[in-house]
Structure 1
Amino acid sequence: MGKIQEIVFDCDKPARLAQFWAALLEGYAVRDYDEAEIARLAALGLTPDTDPTVLVDGPGPSICFQNVEGRRHDNNRVHFDVEVTDRPSEVQRLLHAGAETVRVLPTYTVMRDPEGNQFCLVDSREAMAA
């Protein structure tokens, strides 16, 4: 079984949408940028306002706003990242329940539920740290 790690929005302007949702949801705020992150962005020619991935934290799951240019009709614009401790086993369990695998990456697997909605199975933070 997994737990919701993040709710992910594909969007055009992540910083603007993150600020909107942070203002809408009680107890949520845009994740602070430390000096190292600001320097990393600057090296890429970016700022917190042009960051292609902005996170909002609060009492529930984090909300991730990621830049995706152009609307793809084969991809839902909002999806869950579900954290699991044993991704291969969880993939098999969900395949038997009617899901399908879209693609497998080093730390997560993109899947579709029985009606075609995408979600990601993400390795637990502990597994990624190991």
Structure 2
Amino acid sequence: MAHLHDIVVDAAHPASAARFWAAALDDYAVAPYDDTELARLRSLGIDSPEDDPTVLLEPASGGPRLWFQLVPEQKQLKNRVHLDVRAADPEAETLRLTALGASVRARHDDHTVLADPEGNEFCLFPLTP
């Protein structure tokens, strides 16, 4: 039986996308860059984590990791897979997420469709009791 390990998101600028999602999601943080990782980047001709072609978000407590990987092409169509997130106060969370750079794409009775700064759609639902 397979177990979900990572969710991978294509990005034009992985570091920026990862920072958005680290700020958007509770208990997620960009994985730290230790000396070994910095040396690996330098061996690839990359001088800064800002230009890292694969940036990892790690959950503090369980859940899948999120990888943001560099792709040369721009997003063109609707996502085939998207993230669903929940919040106790969806309206306040919508305001917080848009302040981080998200945009509202559609509002429905039970959820809001947003897009991250790179245009990847995700849905915001209220917490259910």
TM-score, length of structure 1 as denominator length: 0.54
Q: Runs of 4 or more off by more than 6 Å in structure 1?
A: none
Find the counterpart in structure 1 of residue 54 from structure 2.
53
Report the identity percentage.
Answer: 49
- Equivalent residue letter for 1:65: F
Find the counterpart in structure 1 of residue 67 from structure 2.
64
Residue 16 of structure 1 aligns to a residue whose secondary structure is helix
Measured after TM superposition, the shift of residue 2 of structure 1 is 1.2
Number of aligned residue pairs: 80
Name the CA shift for 1:37/1:78 in 2 (closer, same or farther; >3 Å).
Answer: farther
Measured after TM superposition, the shift of residue 78 of structure 1 is 5.0
Residue 73 of structure 2 aligns to a residue whose secondary structure is coil
TM-score, length of structure 2 as denominator length: 0.55
Structure 1: 5+ residue stretches without partners: 80-130
Residue 51 of structure 2 aligns to a residue whose secondary structure is coil
Structure 2: 5+ residue stretches without partners: 83-129
Name the CA shift for 1:65/1:10 in 2 (closer, same or farther; >3 Å).
Answer: same
Residue 9 of structure 2 aligns to a residue whose secondary structure is strand
Measured after TM superposition, the shift of residue 6 of structure 1 is 0.6
Measured after TM superposition, the shift of residue 39 of structure 1 is 1.1
**What is the aligned-residue RMSD (CA, Å)?**
2.5
